Structure 1
Amino acid sequence: MNYEDVMKLALERGFYFPSCEVYADAQAGFWEYGPSGVSLKNKFLELWRRELIRRDGMMEIDGSQIMSKSVFEASGHLGNFADPIIKCTKCKSTFRADRIIAEISKVEIPESADLSEFDNAILQNNIKCPKCKGDFESAKKFNMMFKVGIGPEEEEAYLRPETCQSIFVDFPRLYKTMRGKLPLGIAQVGKSFRNEISPRQSLLRLREFYQAEIEIFCNPTKLDDIEKFTEIENTIIRVQTDSEIVAMTCKKAVESGVVPNKFVAYYLAILTEFYEKTGIDVTKSRFRKLGDKEKAFYAQVAFDFEVETTIGWLELVACNYRSDYDLSSHAVKSKEKFEVMDNEDKVLPHVFEISMGIDRSLYTILEHSMIDDKEHERVVLSIRPYLAPVHVGVLSLIKKDGLKEKTDEIYLQLKRKYDAFLDHSGAIGRRYRRLDEIGAPFAVTIDYQSMEDNTVTIRKRDSMSQERIKISEIDSILARDTAFP
């Protein structure tokens, strides 16, 4: 299944759709989640909390989406958070330089490259405006921050371009009041905002998007002194080395120098284990180490967790070793102290970041889970049962002779505990197909025999197998098969 198939499913089955789509002036890059999408997103985040936050004893906060100008002066975003753009001299259309060059000439230039590299590539490849064939002006930098005015005086502030800055500025208070101890992970889920030049492809590039961000504060002298490493030393991670992807254990990755230390390897491992449980095919994944011109301005070492899709490799998570860049910058700007005590040592912690794009992750789960079952003329979202937007469809064979009332009774018993969908109308085969498309792992059908012996037919999504069970057994089957691992 490809991008177009996922898009069709998303629109028809209530996963996501364009914001303000009834208006012609609706801006690109803003999408909304429907009921199926919200249910999937919430379950994805619950799995994230189970597999990363609780597993590692991290803290979670919920920070403000609007932050002061000083925060982003200290973080470097007002000076460095920019994309290269080029403008047509004739029609005045604006394009992102690295993308237009890649699309027309197939030349890949990192977005953080010097502006002269874009100008040279445009000249050497004779690249013209795709709209009017005009020439381009010299490349410029475009800052992607959304500026807002606070109060009647329009005091300058900004929508956050990433969720991590509130974690950094809150760190001294959190460490003190929550009796922190290094290494300490602090997480946040929420929306970030970036004024993208040309957002496209639905959830893959947005101006308003969800992030699940984790910042792990550590003592930089103890990056190989991590007892938990034994838990994951044999976990296989796939790392891009030069031109090939090599699958290796975390232990081997550290010993060979592919991953710099046990601390980083531990978090790459638990991230891989998490994505495996989402149903994404991790044999199509890689940790790609970024070069100096690719990595973010604050990163010393950076790995992108990327997954292969029908539209190419898609970055789902940025893994950055930010050293003490953020804490030292905020300490200087705010004139507050950010050092903490680690046993007897006074330390300005370093930070390793796991910055996850939720929207892109959900798209990839959908694509990797969709199956075109031509034999049975159906599309199946073969998603993990614990992530399914609907756990069970509750269906009456017909609506008369007391079957509707019996079906309603069973639905009422299930809906407080599971995501259940009640459906009385249409041919039973078509109702099964609709449930298959939203990934419901089970369908329960109430028929005439149900009225006689309190049994129902339970159908399994993937195998299409059906069996007769007692109504009293429905709960235990759903509890067993839809529970988080």
Structure 2
Amino acid sequence: MDYEAVMKLALERGFYFPSCEIYADAQAGFWEYGPSGVSLKNKFLELWRRELIRRDGMLEIDGSQIMSKSVFEASGHLGNFADPIIKCIKCNATFRADRTIAELTQIEIPESADLEEFDNVISQNNIKCPKCKGDFDKTKNFNMMFKVGIGPEEEEAYLRPETCQSIFVDFPRLYKTMRGKLPIGIAQVGKSFRNEIAPRQSLLRLREFYQAEIEVFCNPNNLSEVEKFSEIQDVTLRIQTDGDPVSMTCKEAVESGVVPNKLVAYYLGILTEFYEKTGIDITKSRFRKLGDKEKAFYAEVAFDFEVETTIGWLELVACNYRSDYDLTSHATKSKQKFEIMDGDDKVLPHVFEISMGIDRSLYTILEHSLKEDKEHERIVLALKPYLSPVHIGILSLVKKDGLKEKTDEIYLQLKRKCDAFLDHSGAIGRRYRRLDEIGSPFAITVDHQTLEDGTVTIRMRDSMEQKRINISELDSEVIQSIAYP
């Protein structure tokens, strides 16, 4: 199914919708999750915690969304966190340079390219304003930070453009109080804010968005001494350097030099295993190794985990080896010590980052899971059972003859064990179809036979198979089936 089908599902079934949509002055780039979307997001994050945070023994923090000017002076964001923009001399419309050029000429220029490169391409290809056909002024950089004033004196501060900076500035305290040992991962989930020039396509480019970031602090002298590497050495990675993606195991990727060391390969491996469990078609994914002009200003080595969708390849995770850029920058600015003891060695740790876009990941899961069953004339959201917003629908065949009361009783029995949905109204076929669309893997129907022998009909979403089971078997039949792997 394509983007439009996902958008229709999102709006009609409570996954997500525009913020402040009742007002004409509502700004683009702000979206809200409805009940189905919140449920999916929470289950996705629980899987992330199980498969990455707990598996690797990481720490998780929850930092402030507003941070001081000094943080972003040290991090380089105030000087470097910018997108290239072009402004029409005639109508004053502003566009993002790299995207406008790509859309009008199919010429791809990295957003981090020199400004002169954009100007040259615009001049050579006679690119005009899409709105009025006017000429463009020189390309400029636009800093995407949201500035805020603190207190009556309006002291300068900023909404964070990424969640990781609090991890870096908190590192000395966390390492000491949590009795850290390298390598150690520190994670954070939360909202970040970027003043995007032209946000579009719902969850794919937002001004306020969710990130799940992991910063792995490591000894740069021990990057190939990873005890847990054997766990993932046979996991297959799809890596693109030049040309089409090539499949290779984590072990082969290290031995061939495509991935620089075992530490990076280990985290690419467990990230691949995580996304396989989200239901994304992993054969449509790749780790794209970024060139020098594409990498973030702080990255020595960078891989983007991208997944193919009907609107192109989407970057879901940025994997960056940031070396000691961040800790050195904050140590210099703050005059605090960031070196720690690793055994007998005094070390300034290096950092490997796994920066995940949650909103884009959820969109991709929805698109890869949404199916059209033409044979049975239905739309099915074939989510993994543990990610489904509703685990089980509990339906009464009719509301009379005591069936409503029995259905309510079963709902009370299950609603604290899983996400259950109680539905008494409408034709049973239409109720099944609604549950199929929000991804509910099971539906049970209470009918007159239930009152006679204590059995219900359970229906499977994907196969549409129906069978009768005893009410006492619901726990083993349903609860175990929706457990995380």
If the TM-score is normalised by the length of the shorter chain, which range does it land in? over 0.9
Q: Which residue does the alignment assign to 1:451? A: 451
| Residue of structure 2 equivalent to 1:352 | 352
Q: Give, in whole Å, the separation in 2 of the partners of 1:231 and 1:410.
A: 42
How far 1:476 sits from its partner (Å)? Answer: 1.3
1:262 aligned partner: 262
2:222 corresponding residue in structure 1:
222
Structure 2 matches for 1:226-245, cutoff 5 A?
Answer: 226-245=226-245
Structure 1 position 241, deviation (Å): 2.5
- Give the TM-score normalised by the residue count of structure 1: 1.00
The within-5 A match list for 1:311-390 is: 311-390=311-390
Question: Per-residue deviation at 1:375?
Answer: 0.7
CA–CA distance in 1 between the matches of 2:254 and 2:145? 37
2:16/2:31 contact within 8 Å kept? yes
Aligned to 1:64: 64
* Map of 2:121 onto structure 1: 121
SS of 1:481's equivalent in the other structure is coil
Contact 2:236 2:249 in 1 (8 A): yes
Amino acid at match of 1:340: I
Which residue of structure 2 aligns with residue 418 of structure 1? 418
**Alignment-derived partner of residue 48 in structure 2:** 48
Using the alignment, how far apart are the partners of 1:480 and 1:405 within structure 2? Answer: 26
C-alpha separation in 2, matches of 1:291 and 1:129: 30
> C-alpha displacement at 1:179, in angstroms?
0.2
State the match for 1:283 in structure 2. Answer: 283
* Alignment-mate amino acid for residue 15 of structure 1: F
SS at match of 1:291: coil
Aligned to 2:32: 32
Distance, in Å, in 1 between the alignment partners of 2:71 and 2:231 is 37
Deviation at 1:111, TM superposition (A): 0.2
> Is contact 2:396–2:407 with CA below 8 Å preserved after alignment?
yes
For residues 402 and 126 of structure 1, the distance between their equivalents in structure 2, rounded to whole angstroms, comes to 75
Match of 2:475 in 1: 475
The C-alpha deviation readout for 1:40-61, integer Å capped at 9, x for no partner, is 0000000000000000000000
SS of equivalent residue, structure 1 residue 175: helix
1:304 and 1:472 mapped to 2: Cα distance? 48
The whole-number CA distance in structure 1 between the counterparts of 2:239 and 2:210 is 26
Unaligned runs of 5+ in 1: none
Give the secondary structure class of the aligned counterpart of 2:198: coil
**Letter aligned with residue 425 of structure 1:** S
Rounded Cα–Cα distance in structure 1 between residues aligned with 2:478 and 2:190: 31
* Distance in structure 1 (CA, Å) of the matches to 2:347 and 2:235: 31
User: Is the Cα contact below 8 Å between 2:219 and 2:350 reproduced in 1?
Assistant: yes
Aligned to 2:202: 202
Aligned to 1:22: 22
Q: 1:72 offset after TM fit, Å?
A: 0.1
Cα-to-partner distance string for 1:235-274 (whole Å, 9 max, x where unaligned):
0000002111100001100000000000100000000000
Distance 1:253 1:379 in 2: 40
Aligned residue for 2:77?
77
Structure 2 counterpart of 1:101: 101
Match of 1:140 in 2: 140
Residue deviations 1:284-319, cap 9 Å, x none? 000000011101000000000000000000000000
Question: How far is the alpha carbon of 1:407 from its aligned partner?
Answer: 0.4
Does the CA contact (< 8 Å) of 2:90 and 2:132 recur in 1? yes
CA–CA distance in structure 2, aligned partners of residues 201 and 182 of structure 1: 40
Number of corresponding residues: 485
Alignment of 1:114-193 (within 5 A): 114-193=114-193
Match of 1:307 in 2: 307
My pick for the range that moved more, 234-243 or 68-77, is 234-243
Query: How far apart, in 2, do the equivalents of 1:189 and 1:477 lie?
Result: 33
RMSD: 0.4
- Give the partner amino acid of 2:370: M
- SS of residue in 1 equivalent to 2:245: strand
SS at match of 1:305: strand
Of all paired residues, the percent bearing the same amino acid is: 84
The CA deviation at 1:95 is: 0.2
CA distance in 1 between counterparts of 2:133 and 2:176 reads: 60
Deviations 1:186-235 (A, max 9, x none): 00000000000000000000000000000000000000011111111110
Task: Give the corresponding residue for 1:92.
Answer: 92
Letter in 2 for 1:389: P
| SS of equivalent residue, structure 1 residue 17 | strand
SS of residue paired to 1:244: coil
Deviations 1:139-196 (A, max 9, x none): 0000000000000000000000000000000000000000000000000000000000
Q: Does structure 1 retain, via aligned residues, the 8 Å contact 2:398–2:447?
A: yes
Counterpart residue identity of residue 248, structure 2: M
* TM-score for the superposition, normalised by structure 2: 1.00
In the TM superposition, what is the alpha-carbon distance from 1:477 to its structure 2 partner? 1.1
Asked if the contact 2:417/2:479 (under 8 Å) is kept, the reply is: no
SS of equivalent residue, structure 2 residue 462: coil
Partner Cα separation in structure 2 for residue 113 and residue 19 of structure 1: 34
C-alpha separation in 1, matches of 2:167 and 2:93:
38
How many Å apart are 1:480 and its aligned residue? 1.5
